[in-house]
Amino acid sequence: MAEKKTNYTEDNIRSLDWKEHIRMRPGMYIGKLGDGAAADDGIYVLVKEIMDNSIDEFVMGNGKRINIKIKDGMASVRDYGRGIPLGKVIDCVSKINTGGKYDSKAFKKSVGLNGVGTKAVNALSDHFMVSSIREGEIKKATFSRGELISDDKIEKTEERNGTYFEFNPDKEIFKNYKYRTPYLEKLFWNYCYLNRGLAIYFNNQKFISENGLKDLLEDNMESDPLYPIIHLEGDDIEVAFTHVRTYGENYYSFVNGQHTTQGGTHLSEFRGAVAKVIKDFFGKNYDAVDIRQSIVSAVSVKVIEPVFESQTKTKLGSQEIEPGGKSMRAFINDFLKVELDNFLHKNPETADIIEKKIKQSEKERKELSGIRKLARDRAKKASLHNKKLRDCRIHFNELKKERREESSIFITEGDSASGSITKSRDVNTQAVFSLRGKPLNSFGLTKKVVYENEEFNLLQAALNIEDGIEGLRYNQVIIATDADVDGMHIRLLLLTFFLQFFPELVRGGHVYILQTPLFRVRNKKETRYCYTEEERLDALANLGRNPEITRFKGLGEISPDEFKNFIGEDIRLDPVLIGKDAKIEDILSYYMGKNTPDRQEFIIGNLKVEDAIEEVA
């Protein structure tokens, strides 16, 4: 049947004002929305967009303190910079392409160059208030979803210069959102590492750094370093790195104070330059993979008019340190060629440890090469003859590359559970990997086990992380196990596997725990799914007399039709988070090592298995 033709006239052409466009296409301005379960969800981007303005003031030498409060979804940010010129307060938060950062002399190496950030926060908040204090006067304005609600007259004040913002993300857009403190703390710590002397107070907790990127590595080390952190600084560049005992490569990269979680040109050039300088220093053609194995590093550069690959500024695209200036490659290479080479000559003990580590990695890689080939062949053969992996269509359609960030994989155990998820999933973006029984406890084992153990080998192949997480096929790796003792044990074993061999997967915020309801409470008119005992009691109180109560003992007991409610738009995911001061070595040793009186006392003192999981997470 032919499709009905529609008229295309002047009436079809619409012009949206700034707030309508932001609200209609929020992803263009703040990336994905989310509910706060992921570090790059929109509610954190809103906080960051406001914070960036305060940081730029600090960089320009104005204001050394920022106060942040977040309670019940309401966020406020107060800095002590120069304040917005009072006559332009409303324009700066409600007119696109209006701001003070187009003058490169005033904001030479600013983060927020495009004048969109505060406007996006304004348009996407049901309450947004801005006030600016300058030289004894204050100007306030209040908005709702970008609409001006009140325009207060300029008044006298005794407050210190600066700006104050408060906003409440619009629940029509950010549904069921929840700020998670670890993500906020990481954001604020990064600001302090990159801006020594800046004091951030978040809900009265103080954040401050004296040693920059060196502090960052010390606070986020996965295990004890093999040698003291190498910390080098120059004009518009700062780097710090060491090697640890865990596997993989772990990087923190920044541009103009912006955490570029997806790296970019500066990180690529840094990785190459470190390998080249070390090869040249030893005069040996070591493989770059062996040089960088187990490296933990941070790199920060300052770029004039940086070009990012998205509005959320998570990946640098600039090829030059400034327009028409030195290339990024030459800038980073020249710096490390002098500073790192000098350091290694002056610190021969550190140089010896680095070379021993390289040789150890080289030996292990060569020993594993034969096993890896057999494992790859086995994985390919297995994928043809079994149904452990039910992939999603996104990976078979080149036209859907832009949706790769939406992809996720559920790791579950048992045919009934994996069957329910497989039948109810979104086949475009959600894959399922089915485990057979409990995985091996990999604590203390070498990477050889990844290739010799069939379950781990196939899981690694499914995720495509053999050579690092750059090839990760799914943005979210979701552990979906029953909420009983066996399910919790499987969860711990999987977390041990990831933390032991692929810690960057966890550090990168890719691993989650699926929350499914424990109860279904319903009457003839309404059905409620309850994830906690409190929700069950609330449902009983609101659904009248004698509602039907079902206790879900396992994922396999939930029908595919019902499962759609739990893995769709309202999916509840708990991110696996590692605290700033937590070392993976210590976590694994405590929970998965030999039984100790301390652990026995901890388990006895925590009646719920979930408590132990939260401690690990």
Whole-model pTM: value is: 0.77
Task: Give the mean model confidence (pLDDT) for residues 251-256.
Answer: 90
Task: Give the mean model confidence (pLDDT) for residues 161-175.
Answer: 93
Task: Give the mean model confidence (pLDDT) for residues 251-277.
Answer: 90
pLDDT at 611: 38
Of 79, 76, 71, 73, residue with least CA distance to 42:
73
Distance, in Å, from the CA atom of 578 to the CA atom of 251, rounded to the nearest integer, reads 16
Q: Is residue 365 over pLDDT 70?
A: yes
Pair of tokens at residue 208: 């401050």
Fold of the CATH domain 213-363: Ribosomal Protein S5; domain 2 (3.30.230)
Torsional sign, CA 315, 321, 322, 326 = negative
Q: Crossing angle of helices 584-592/485-501, nearest 10°?
A: 150
pLDDT at 108: 58
Distance, in Å, from the CA atom of 270 to the CA atom of 238, rounded to the nearest integer, reads 11
| Portion of the chain with pLDDT greater than 70, in percent | 83
Higher pLDDT, 28 or 170: 170
Greatest mean pLDDT among 5-19, 395-409, 461-475:
461-475
- Per-residue pLDDT tens over the stretch 307-323: 877 656 778 888 888 88
Pair of tokens at residue 265: 């040109």
| Portion of the chain with pLDDT greater than 90, in percent | 37
Q: Would you call 410 exposed, middle or buried from its count of C-beta atoms within 10 A (0-12, 13-18, 19+)?
A: buried
Task: Give the mean model confidence (pLDDT) for residues 482-491.
Answer: 82
Least confident of 137-141, 298-302, 357-361, 607-611: 607-611
pLDDT at 296: 92
Q: Which CATH number fits domain 386-516+552-616: 3.30.230.10, 3.40.1000.10, 3.40.50.670, 3.50.50.60?
A: 3.40.50.670
Pair of tokens at residue 465: 């992380």
Query: 338 CB contacts (<8 Å, ≥6 apart)?
Result: none
Residue ranges per structural domain of the chain: 18-207, 213-363, 386-516+552-616, 519-550
pLDDT at 395: 65
Greatest mean pLDDT among 34-48, 114-128, 137-151, 603-617:
137-151
pLDDT at 114: 45
Task: Give the mean model confidence (pLDDT) for residues 63-72.
Answer: 93
Q: Which CATH number fits domain 18-207: 3.90.850.10, 3.30.565.10, 3.40.50.300, 3.40.50.2300?
A: 3.30.565.10
pLDDT at 104: 47
Q: Is residue 410 over pLDDT 60?
A: yes
Pair of tokens at residue 49: 């967009």
Task: Give the mean model confidence (pLDDT) for residues 154-178.
Answer: 92
How many CA atoms lie less than 13 Å away from 83 in the CB half-sphere? 19
pLDDT at 53: 87
pLDDT at 603: 47
pLDDT at 496: 87
What is the helix (H) or strand (E) element at residue 49, kind and residue range?
helix 42-59
Return the SS3 of 397. coil
Task: Give the mean model confidence (pLDDT) for residues 441-452.
Answer: 81
Task: Give the mean model confidence (pLDDT) for residues 224-240.
Answer: 94
- Per-residue pLDDT tens over the stretch 576-616: 877 665 566 666 665 666 655 665 555 444 433 333 333 33
Average pLDDT over the chain, rounded to an integer: 83
Give whole-number Cα distances, 525 to 313, 346, 517, 533, 548, in Å.
Answer: 47, 77, 19, 22, 12
- Per-residue pLDDT tens over the stretch 113-127: 445 788 999 999 999
Query: 460 CB contacts (<8 Å, ≥6 apart)?
Result: 379, 450, 466
Task: With beta carbons less than 8 A apart as the criterion, state whether 459 and 451 touch.
Answer: no
